[in-house]
Amino acid sequence: MMSEEFTKTNASTNESSQEPKLQDCDHNCDSCEEKCEEEKTDFRIHLNELSHVKKTIAVISGKGGVGKSMVTALLAVTMQRLGYKTAILDADLTGPSIPKMFGIREKAMQSDFGILPVLSKTKIKMMSINLLIENETDPVVWRGPLIAKTVQQFWTDVVWDEVEYMFIDMPPGTGDVPLTVFQSIPVDGIIIVTSPQELVSMIVSKSVKMAEIMNIPIVGIVENMSYVVCPKCKEPYYLFGSSHIEEIATKHHLDVLAKVPVDSSLAASCDHGLIELAPDDYFIPVAEKIENWRNK
């Protein structure tokens, strides 16, 4: 059961009245030399005193149904295989799928020091609303302020011990939760997940513009469901038409990190809670780019 303390929030808070000017602001008032007409507000929140997270990468998508959670899970799995200590913060409270992909049914435990993340079979640390509620099929029917506050508590109240890479699985779009995460959690970079449909250009542009407004660098783009490989002739077939990801990336000066095909084995791994056994052929190049990006 979720603890009372974890769900306490002031849902009536009028967040819009505290909104800072976002353009070109990283919300770090201590190191800022700007002389604003109005006093700046630093919305960043602190980790649990026993936590240590080196790099935080948010995985976002402009629309749902593009495989963002699968990409998040496989990024964590791949980086873990490369020897890094990884974690997943599941910020998609109304559509949490991370525990299911890892085959996790146990609940997170409360300690004297905070909430303890659940460990996967390969020791990936994770926190999701489905690790706190009694029944994983119960819907989270909450308003925006409560959802945003809970995501913040995933950062402040959970003991994230010795994490080298944390991946945040964001809900789709540019609403309350993405804004809350980008304002209050020190996100080092963003990975955008897309699909090949024609309308993606507009949707990617929205995500890019939000990242620019929040002054957060973009690591690159992953195109999911890019093609399918014929099992007989091994030729690629483009189910959604030709990919436009290269021209979209060029337009926004971004790197294409990977083009992931429709792969029934990946879907089966997610459905059966065996994502940690999935092949990492598609994501090893992404992991290498993340490593190089980290050292820039």
What confidence tier does 144 reach under pLDDT thresholds 50, 70, 90?
Answer: confident
Which CATH architecture does the domain made up of 46-290 adopt? Answer: 3-Layer(aba) Sandwich (3.40)
* % residues pLDDT > 90 (the chain): 46
Under 8 Å between Cβ of 238 and 223: no
Q: Under a CB-based contact definition with an 8 Å cutoff, are residues 280 and 81 in contact?
A: yes
Q: Which residue has the tokens 């002054």?
A: 215
Answer for the pair 27, 43: CB distance below 8 angstroms, yes or no: yes
Q: Quick one: CA dihedral 49, 165, 90, 96, positive or negative?
A: negative
When pLDDT is averaged across residues 18-31 and rounded to a whole number, the result is 49
Q: Residue 114 contacts by C-beta under 8 Å, 6 or more apart in sequence?
A: 48, 50, 157, 158, 159
Strands 189-194 and 218-223: parallel
Average pLDDT rounded to a whole number, residues 260-288: 90
**Cα 260 to Cα 138: distance, rounded to the nearest angstrom:** 32
pLDDT for residue 145 is more than 80: yes
Strands 109-110 and 115-116: antiparallel
Per the prediction, the chain carries an average pLDDT of: 84
pTM: 0.84
Give the pLDDT score at 28.
Answer: 55
Of 4-13, 72-81, 159-168, least confident by mean pLDDT is 4-13
**Which residues are within 8 A (CB) of 274 and not within 5 positions of it... i.e. 6 or more apart?**
103, 268
CB atoms within 10 A of CB 214: 20
Is the predicted pLDDT of residue 21 greater than 80, yes or no?
no
> Of the candidates 37, 123, 18, which has an alpha carbon nearest to the alpha carbon of residue 81?
123
Question: Is the pLDDT at 88 greater than 70, yes or no?
Answer: yes
What is the predicted pLDDT for the residue at 93?
Answer: 92
What is the pLDDT, as a whole number, of residue 175? 80
pLDDT score recorded for residue 14? 41
pLDDT per position as a tens digit, 240-270: 877 788 888 898 899 999 999 998 888 899 9
What is the structure's pLDDT at 202?
Answer: 82
Give the start-to-end residue ranges of the domains of the chain.
46-290
- Per DSSP, the residues of 226-251 read --EE-TTT--EE-TTSS--HHHHHHH
User: Is the pLDDT reported for residue 11 higher than 60?
Assistant: no
- How far apart CA 180 and CA 170 sit, in angstroms, is 11
Cα dihedral 149, 132, 102, 137 sign: negative
pLDDT at res. 52 = 95
Write down the residue that tokens 């992931």 correspond to.
260
Q: What single letter denotes the amino acid at residue 252?
A: H
Cα separation, 263 vs 289, whole angstroms? 22
Tell me, what's the pLDDT at 38? 44
Give pLDDT, residue 13: 39
- The pLDDT-based confidence of 29 (bands split at 50, 70, 90) is low
Which is higher by pLDDT, 7 or 213? 213
| Residue 34, pLDDT above cutoff 90 | no
